[in-house]
Structure 1
Amino acid sequence: MVVHTAILVDGGFYRKRARFLWGEKTAEQRAQELWAYCQAHLRDKSSGEERFLYRIFYYDCEPVGRKSVYHPLRKANVDLDKSDTYVWATEFMEQLKKRRKFALRLGHLSDQMNYNLKPDVTRDLCSGKRTVESLEERDFIFSAQQKGVDMKIGVDIASLAYKKQVQQIILIAGDSDFVPAAKLARREGIDFILDPMWNTIRSDLFEHIDGLKSQWHKKDR
């Protein structure tokens, strides 16, 4: 049986989780990795199905350019369009645009942007293991809230379901915001698979999906 499958990727989640599982990579290497990871789902015969790719939908925010954000350690503004993060993200998006069957769905970042201490650094400061004088730039992380990404995921799931464009949706994501859209898709007869990339999900989410399947594990890479 051939099953037409759409793969939806929460980009912010994927990049963070992939970095944790498989380390830092260049933009081109990360794009190739994402393509290979999606292909692993298509080649997976454990369900007894033959999957035909409809499209890979990638959801993320466009890199922020021409904006300065105050850095508390530097005590100065940082031009985001000159940062390594901006250069990497821009190249990553360009790599995905060149790949066949990829559709980018881009939201935007909120105007509230900050450089915050990483949680483990904050814990060390509060417990006395670190001092303010020991802080380095790598102890800070850029923080900005995504806008419009979850809505785009929900709209596309509904559209795929109502138009009967696919029989199966594989969602690569790590939170529960997808539940309303997943319930709608399942009512329309869509087989809904969640891939949390080996991340633990809440037990009550199982009633809203038809399957849970992560691909490569860290030890396999």
Structure 2
Amino acid sequence: MNRTAILVDGAFFLARYRKVYGERDAGDARAVAKTLFGMALEHLKAVDRPREQLYRIYFYDCPPLEKSLVKPISGDSVDFGRTGAAAFRRELHDQLRRQRKMALRLGRLAERGEWQLKRSAYQQLREGSLRWDDLRDEHFEPDMRQTQVDMKIGIDIAALTYKKLVDQIILVAGDADFIPAAKLARYEGIDFILDPMWQGIAPDLHEHIDGLQSVCPRPF
């Protein structure tokens, strides 16, 4: 029996979730976890027993920011560990741990204790619809980035491939960082499918995958 592993870039999935489903259930960790599992089964709907063909779902993410920072404009202090976003992330990770055939892979959140201008605010400044004097706290976000996530995805793809645990890998992601791992898997005979959740991809990415398939509703 052919077996399929589904690997999900958590940050990408959550960003696309809001674009695909709007705000519907976006703050409900249980609903989001259920949707993720449903997407996995949707990829396998062509077979008689999709749950048996599913080897495992891997979800890659980072723990939420758990420290206090001083806002750049007002000077007020904000404890990010007490925000709704942090509570949602913790609850989502807990829900995922409870899901059958789910493996949660957590990286690290590297932050410098500084703030950076949001991309949307930067664009408004360029367009002239926002002036520098009008900048407020909400136009900034903590300067942080995920680490170890891409490495964990690559290691898991290699392990699944070399140990011959699966015949197919479906990756839910939107960037090109996966290409070296995808090439390795395909070289070893693994069917490699990319699910960008209807986000456009660069034309040259098609040569590094065996198929492109999005199973979530297409956003308008």
TM-score (norm 2): 0.89
Could you give the per-residue CA deviations for residues 106-136 of structure 1, whole angstroms, max 9, x where no partner exists?
A: 1001132544333222222343323456555
Judge conservation of contact 1:17–1:197 (CA < 8 Å) in 2. yes
| TM-aligned CA deviation for residue 69 of structure 1 | 2.3
Structure 1 match to 2:170: 170
Match of 1:56 in 2: 57
Q: Report the CA distance shift for 1:185/1:61 in structure 2 as closer, same or farther (over 3 A).
A: same
Q: Which residue of 2 aligns with 1:111?
A: 111
Q: Distance in 1 between matches of 2:124 and 2:64?
A: 31
State the one-letter code of the partner of 2:101: K
The equivalent of 2:151 in structure 1 is: 151
Equivalents in 2 of 1:32, 1:192: separation in Å? 24
Shift of 1:29: 1.5
Asked if the contact 2:20/2:216 (under 8 Å) is kept, the reply is no
In structure 2, the CA distance between the partners of 1:71 and 1:152, relative to structure 1 (3 Å rule), is same
Q: 1:18 to 1:59 in 2, by over 3 A?
A: same
* Matched-pair contact (CA < 8 Å) for 1:22–1:218: no
Is 1:33 the equivalent of 2:35? yes
Superposed CA RMSD in Å reads 2.1
Q: Is the contact made by 2:19 and 2:219 (CA closer than 8 Å) also made in structure 1?
A: no
Change in Cα spacing, 1:175 to 1:219, as seen in structure 2 (3 Å) is: closer
In structure 2, relative to structure 1, the CA distance for the partners of 1:216 and 1:185 (3 Å cut) is same
Where is the strand percentage greater, Structure 1 or Structure 2?
A: 1
Give yes or no for contact 1:112–1:145 (8 Å, CA) kept in 2. Answer: no
Cα shift at 1:21: 1.4
Classify 1:176/1:217 alpha carbon distance in 2 versus 1 (closer, same or farther; 3 Å): same
The answer to which of 19-28 and 130-139 deviates more is: 130-139
* Correspondence for 2:2: 3
Report what 1:90 is aligned to: 90
Q: Name the SS of the counterpart of 1:218 in structure 2.
A: coil
Contact 1:3 1:50 (8 Å CA) reproduced: no
Amino acid at match of 1:153: I
Give the letter for the 1:29 counterpart: A
Question: Structure 1 stretch 26-35 or stretch 155-164: which is displaced more?
Answer: 26-35
Tell me how far apart the structure 2 counterparts of residues 35 and 175 of structure 1 sit (CA, whole Å): 22
1:25-69 Cα shifts (integer Å, max 9, x gaps) = 2112211111111121111x2xx897510000000111222x122
Change (3 A) 1:75 1:18: same
Structure 1, unaligned runs of 5 or more: none
- Give how far 1:138 is off: 4.4
**Aligned residue runs from structure 1 range 142-221, under 5 A:** 142-218=142-218
Paired residue secondary structure (1:151): helix
| Amino acid corresponding to residue 197 of structure 2 in structure 1 | M
Q: Matched residue pairs, number?
A: 215
- In the alignment, the residues of structure 1 paired with residue 148 and residue 178 of structure 2 have an alpha-carbon distance, to the nearest angstrom, of 13
Q: Measure the CA separation in 2 of the matches of 1:188 and 1:50.
A: 26
Distance (Å, rounded) in 2 between the aligned partners of 1:21 and 1:121: 23
Q: Do the aligned partners of 1:172 and 1:196 also contact (CA within 8 Å) in 2?
A: yes
Aligned to 1:15: 14
**Partner Cα distance (1:68, 1:154) in 2:** 33
Give the Å deviation of 1:218.
3.4
Identity of aligned residues (%): 46
Distance change in 2, residues 1:101/1:219 (3 Å): same
The answer for unaligned runs of 5 or more in structure 2 is: none
Q: In the TM superposition, what is the alpha-carbon distance from 1:16 to its structure 2 partner?
A: 0.6
Task: State whether residues 195 and 212 of structure 2, in contact with CA within 8 Å, keep that contact through their aligned partners in structure 1.
Answer: yes
